[in-house]
Structure 1
Amino acid sequence: MQLDQYKVTANISLTKSQTKVVIDDAEKELKKVRKQLGKLQDTLYAHGKYSVLICLQGMDTAGKDSLIREVFKDFNARGVVVHSFKVPTELELKHDYLWRHYIALPARGKFGVFNRTHYENVLVTRVHPGYIMSENIPGVNAVDDINESFWNQRFEQINNFEKHIAENGTIIFKFFLNLSKEEQKNRLLRRLRKQEKNWKFSPGDLKERKLWDKYQTCYEDAINRTSKPHAPWYTIPADDKPSARYLVAKIMFDTISAYTDIKEPELDDDIKANIELYKQELNNE
């Protein structure tokens, strides 16, 4: 399987990108690779020099929540921390828009998952620029002040943020779950038909769906401006959930496995020389 085809290394067009790929035995293959990822996380923790940040973006119903549940099922619970970023709180709005993401970054040795990310600040706010007004930014006194220069600056800030954390040991993955409009319709209808799924539905989902084309344009622009070698975007076909989950897990495993310096630290020479003595001491208790 050529996983590099999903990595964004040149400008892409989302209208020409795949939204569905079906991988044989995807669920079976996922079980294998997620166990490997779990073991790799143990080594990452013992090594203690890298952290891993997984950024998940996609339209409503793209499958972010279930992907997190299935991909990280075999992790030590203390080895992965998930943050779901909603509407900024009063406290968060008193800081710059990246502050809440900085403080949620994973510690060395851990995986951090951002379910919706700092990219909401160039996606939802770009579709609804009025939201920016609640940030109380100097020089932005009206929606008309939010011009192309404003967005250029914000993209530069995001690129600098990711470059900074990458240079300090964070391995960054950014996955766009590329869902078709037709499949989103089917998933919204499923939420309405199944009583146990009703709680997931909001009338606001339909309002946002009407802005589908605008969101796609903003996603495409954000991906093209911010896919860098140290923080690449991957566009993952999301219409088939098992295949999408496997692709995400496999890309992470293959990429991290290529870091030849990530290994468990060797024991101190004095400890190694006395291992048999320590065994004997315990056995003689």
Structure 2
Amino acid sequence: MQDEITQKIAVTLTGWQGQVTEAERALMRRKNSADLDAYDYWLLGIEAKHRMTPEGVIEARVLFEKGLKLAPDFMPLVRDMAVTYAVETDLGSAIDYPAAVDAQWKYAKRALALDPNDATANNMMAVAYANQGDGEQAERFRKLALQFGPNNTDIMMQLAWAYGGWETERAMELIERTLKLNPRYPPWWNFPITQTYFAARLFEKAYAAAKQIGESPNQAAYLAMSAAQIGKKQEAAEAAAKVLRVNPDWTAESMFPYQNFRDETRLPESAAKAGLRSA
């Protein structure tokens, strides 16, 4: 019980959206734009990134770049620049995927060199290796991320995101643990929650979580597919139309992390049911 209380205090106070960071962000907003330093740009960028929209990711990157001009070796800026490229591939926008993967690798590697013990930097290296198809190295860095951030619920949820499609039970355990520690969680958690519930065929729960994600093609696709699976045909059609408005070339086959779903029929069959192209 004492350990659980300690964990909950740590979760409440720390992290990307902990009370300490939010208090600092509130102070930063009172500053004149000319007085912003690298840390301020980092706080603003995190806020933009966590909207989980294509526009939010681009805005975050611009803010991080401004901060890096002031402090090129400020590790959180370098690390979270890697996060923006990892997130961008998840959103389903029309992007240069190889270029995004290369940029994610570059910033993740640099962040780890600046702080080898940072949990998120290690997880970003896991993402980088996963993008290269090196599952063994990816898993090694995931374990290091959890080792360096045992009470970091953001890390736990990022790992659930990584495992959601292909080690669904493991992802469910991480989600249950994080929700217990932080039931008032930040909105971006809904993306890995949606993916995991969808992979587990818990379509009602996937539908509820998908409604809380930021606006992006993959968010709308999950909403369309989970709605179709539970018989909400009109909502499925509306969400499917939104997918194609934002990215006319969207297909289930191109949906990240399509290649990591253990059941390779889940996405294409659900997409077809929602009126979306499977390939």
> TM-score, normalized by length of structure 1?
0.27
Q: Which has the larger radius of gyration?
A: 1
> TM-score, normalized by length of structure 2?
0.28
Q: Which has the higher contact order (CA 8 A, sep 6+)?
A: 1
Answer 1 or 2: which has greater strand percent. 1
Answer 1 or 2: which has greater helix percent. 2
